[in-house]
């Protein structure tokens, strides 16, 4: 069934797009939650005109995302923390701290876009993925170093 999306639906499409979905998904989820309208022969032309505007918006967003990916790619961040003598951190480094470090560099990403392969609990160099879109996933290098002891 063809539907016109009124709001962005993850893994389906953006608001203003005409997409093809299963009949049951449309009837049981999209229509009751007012996320989509059914496309028929009478209203298809008006939805097609609106879809062109959405395509232009998508192209603009894609361009901005690719520019952000270029800024992120190859970026190296250093974080200093208190550690035990064996190089283990007292706590762990979370995605919120990484997002704050990126924000200090003028790069705004949300915490759920940062992907850690495993939790960071000791000194070393780690590769951290930033998921900007399904195709653009640049990686940054995060170096965890001990904080100098103040006396």
**Phi (first) and psi of residue 96, to 5 degrees:** -65, -40
73-146 CATH: 3.10.430.100
Domain ranges for the chain: 2-65, 73-146
Mean pLDDT of the chain: 87
Cβ atoms within 10 Å of 84's Cβ, excluding its own: 11
pLDDT digits (tens, 9 = 90+) for 28-62: 999 999 999 998 887 887 787 777 777 777 788 88
Q: Do domains 2-65 and 73-146 have the same CATH topology?
A: no
- pTM for this predicted structure: 0.63
Q: Domain 2-65: which topology?
A: Ribosomal Protein L9; domain 1 (3.40.5)
């Amino acid at each position: 069934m063809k539907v016109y999306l009124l709001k962005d639906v993850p893994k389906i499409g953006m608001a203003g797009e005409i997409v093809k979905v299963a009949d049951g998904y449309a009837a049981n989820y999209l229509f009751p939650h007012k996320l989509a309208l059914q496309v028929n022969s009478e209203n298809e032309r008006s939805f097609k005109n609106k879809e062109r505007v959405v395509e232009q918006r998508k192209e603009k967003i894609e361009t901005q995302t690719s520019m952000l990916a270029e800024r992120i790619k190859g970026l190296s961040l250093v974080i200093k923390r208190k550690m035990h003598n064996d190089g283990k951190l007292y706590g762990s480094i979370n995605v919120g701290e990484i997002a704050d470090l990126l924000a200090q560099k003028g790069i705004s990403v949300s915490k759920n876009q940062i992907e850690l392969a495993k939790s960071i609990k000791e000194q070393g160099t780690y590769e951290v993925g930033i998921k900007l879109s399904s195709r653009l996933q640049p990686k940054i290098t995060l170096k965890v170093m001990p904080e100098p002891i103040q006396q």
